[in-house]
């Protein structure tokens, strides 16, 4: 399953809280339009780097499908940022 929504929570020392819901599924529209160019770039990079292009594409797909459930928490200088991908 590909990620569809990212939840972003930002807290600052002044107790300002920002919560964003980012619809990742909207990124698929430009990605589909750029797909031929992306595949061409992947093919050229794989030929130059002597990598099997099918293996590179399947690895990228596996990484993309494993993103849901990922949660990243960052704290620095009193700021707290949390990103959760659904």
pLDDT digits (tens, 9 = 90+) for 51-68: 998 998 899 889 988 999
Reply yes or no on whether the pLDDT at 49 is more than 90. yes
* Residues forming beta bridges with residue 10, ordered by sequence position: 18, 81
pLDDT (mean) for 36-52: 92
pTM of the model: 0.70
Within 13 Å and on the Cβ side, how many CA atoms surround 69? Answer: 5
pLDDT score of 78 more than 90 = no
pLDDT over 80 at 1, yes or no: no
């Amino acid at each position: 399953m590909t990620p569809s929504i990212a939840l972003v929570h930002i807290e600052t020392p002044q107790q300002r809280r920002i919560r964003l819901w980012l619809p990742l599924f909207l990124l698929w529209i430009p990605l589909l339009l750029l797909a031929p160019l992306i595949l061409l770039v992947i093919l050229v990079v794989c030929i130059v780097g002597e990598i099997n292009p099918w293996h590179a594409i399947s690895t990228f797909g596996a990484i993309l499908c494993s993103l849901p459930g990922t949660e990243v928490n960052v704290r620095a200088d009193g700021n707290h940022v949390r990103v959760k991908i659904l």
